[in-house]
Structure 1
C-alpha cells in the first residue's frame, strides 16, 4: 500500500472486496430467496459498489490540497458509516429479513432501521462537505480537478435520489425468507411491486420503473468522470481541450441521470424505453455531441510531441 493513499478507505475497499466474494459463495450455498433473489444478493451488490467507491475516495484524498487533514477525517467518517451499513445489511441477510423499509418490531431490526435513519443522512452530509471543500481550491491538473468536482456532485445527486424511494406510498405486506409477514413502508419500484421480474445481477425491474437505476448511475458518476479525465490524458489530448471535454461529459452525465430519474418515476423499465424516452435520449446525445465538438474546435486537440534535444557532436 502506498503511504499517500488514505488508509481507512483503502482497507475498507479490501474488506468490501473480500466480503463480496463471501457473499457470492453464500449465494451458491444458501438457497433462501427474498423477493425473487438470493438473500445474499443485496449485501453482495452493496459490497462491490462500496469497494469501488471507497477505493476512489482513498485516491481522491491523496491528491495534494489544502485542509487535507480535515478532508481525511471526513472521508474516515464516510468509511466508518459504509462499513456499518454493509455489515448490518449482511446481518439482516443472514437472518433472512428485509434490510430497508422493514417496519417489523423485532428489536434488532428496529436497531437497524434507527441506525440507517441516522447514519445515511450523516454520510450524505459528509459527502456534501467534501465536495464543497474541494470546490473552492485548486488541486491536481484542471481536467482531474473538474472531474473530481463534477463526479462528487453527481454522486451526491445519486445519493439524494435514494430518498425518492422513501416517499409517501401505501405500505405493502411481504413475506421474508423465513416465512414471516412484514409490512414494508417504502420501496424502489414504481408501478409494480418490489421483487418482480428483474435484470440479471442488478435485479432492476424489467416490468416497471426502478429508482435503483438512477441511484446507482449517479453514485458512480465520480468514477466515470475520473476515468474520462485519465483516459483523455492517456490519449494525448491537450489539457485545455480535455478539461472542456470533462465539463461537457459531467453535464451530459447529469442529463442522463435526470433522464433515468424521470423514466423511473413514470414507471417505465430501463430495458423497455418508450418513444418519449428515446426522443429525450437522442436530444441529450445531440447536445453532448455538439458540446464535445465545440471543445475539440477550441484549440489543438492533441498535445504536440515533445522534441528531444539533438546531441551535439
Structure 2
C-alpha cells in the first residue's frame, strides 16, 4: 500500500563551484585595461564628443569586469546545461573582447567609435561593433533561459539570478534604441554620425562628470547602465540579506530574514521595484528629460514605485509566526 503523502523527488545536486574561466580571465584583463585607461585619462588631454577621449574605454572596461565576473559566477550555479552555458559564456567573452578592441582602435585613431559613419572604415567598425553586441545579447539570452530552467536549491537566490539576468537583457537592449537617427541627422544628407546617446539634445553637450550623461536632455545610457547592473545588485542584495540572517542570534531584529520565504518575497519585491525604476528611467530619457530634472509625471511615477515597493517590502517581512494571536501578544 502506497504512502498517502509520497515524498517529492529530491532536487538535483548543485554543480561543483567552478567559475567560467574565459570570463574570469577576460574580467582580469579588463581590470588591467581599466588601469591603462585611467592613465590615459591623466596623460592624454584629447577630448572626443565633449569628454576626455579615454573615458569610454575606462567605463566599458570597468563595466566588463563586473559583467564578466557576475556571469562567470551565475554559470557556476547551473546543475545542468553546463556545456551550453560554457559555450554561451565563451561567445560573450569573444564578442566583448572584439567590442573593446574596436573601441580602443578608434580611441588610438582619435575618432568616435559609436555611430560613426564618416568614412567607409569607420562605418565598417561601427557595423562590426553592432554585430558583436547582437551576438553578445543572444548568448546572454541563452544563459538567461538556462537559469530560468535551472533548479537552484536556494529559491531566493534562484529568482535573484533569474530576474537579474532578464532585467540585464532589457538594459542591454536599450542600446539598440541609440542607433536610430535623430531628426537633425535625418535632415542632413550623408550625415557622418547616425545615432546618439542623448535625446532632445546633441551628444557632447553639458554632461555629468565621469559618466558623461547629458544634463540638459534625455540620455538612454542612464537606463542602459541601470538595467545592465541588475546582474550584480539584485544577487548582492540577497547575499546581504542572508548575511544579516546569519547574525540574528546577535541582532534579533534580523530574525525574520532567517525565513526562506521572507527572503524570497523580498527578492521578488526588490526585482519588481528594480524593473519598474528601469522602465521609468527609459521613459524619462525617451521624453528628452535629464535624470535630475524630472517633471511631474516622472515624479509621480517615482512616488508610486516608492509607495508600492515599501508596502510590498513590509508585507514581505511577515513570517508564518505572524498570526492574530501573535500580534496581540506583541501589542500587549
TM-score normalised to the size of structure 1?
0.89
1:111 aligns with 124
CA displacement 1:186-221 (0-9 Å, x = unmatched)? 101011110111111101111100000000000011
The partner residue of 1:167 within 180, 187, 202 is 180
Q: Provide the rounded CA distance (Å) in 1 between the counterparts of 2:237 and 2:152.
A: 18
User: Using the alignment, how far apart are the partners of 2:104 and 2:96 within structure 1?
Assistant: 12
Distance 1:300 1:162 in 2: 46
Q: Which runs of 4+ in 1 moved over 3 A?
A: 170-173, 298-301
Name 1:144's counterpart in structure 2: 157
Q: C-alpha deviations, 1:256-312, integer Å up to 9, x for none?
A: 0000011101111101212221111011011111111111114369xxxxxxxxxxx
Distance 1:171 1:72, change over 3 A: farther
Q: 2:204 aligns with which of 178, 184, 195?
A: 195
1:100 is aligned to 2:114 = yes
Q: Quote the Cα distance in structure 2 between the aligned partners of 1:59 and 1:124.
A: 18
User: Which of 66, 87, 90 matches 1:76?
Assistant: 90
Q: Alignment partner for residue 217 of structure 1, among 205, 223, 226?
A: 226
TM-score, normalising length from structure 2? Answer: 0.84
In the other structure, the counterpart of 2:330 is: none
Output the CA distance in 2 between the equivalents of 1:123 and 1:188.
Answer: 20
Q: 13, 21, 30: which is aligned to 1:16?
A: 30
**Aligned pair count?**
292
Q: Tell me: CA distance 1:182–1:22, structure 2 relative to 1, closer, same or farther (3 Å).
A: farther
Cα shift at 1:63: 1.5
Query: Partners in 2 of 1:130 and 1:253 — Cα distance?
Result: 20
What is the CA–CA distance in structure 2 between the aligned matches of 1:3 and 1:143, rounded to whole Å?
18
- Is 1:36 paired with 2:50? yes
In the alignment, is residue 227 of structure 1 matched against residue 236 of structure 2? Answer: yes
Q: Answer yes or no: is 1:292 the counterpart of 2:307.
A: no
CA separation of 1:150/1:61 partners in 2, compared to 1, >3 Å: closer, same or farther? Answer: same
Rg comparison, structure with higher value? 2
Superposed displacement of residue 149, structure 1: 0.3
Residue among 216, 240, 250 paired with 1:207:
216
Q: CA–CA distance in 1 between the matches of 2:78 and 2:94?
A: 23
Q: Confirm whether residue 134 of structure 1 aligns to residue 134 of structure 2.
A: no
Structure-1 separation of matches of 2:161 and 2:196: 31
Q: Distance in 1 between matches of 2:128 and 2:45?
A: 28
Gapped runs of 5+ residues in structure 1?
174-180, 302-313
1:91 aligns with 2:112: no
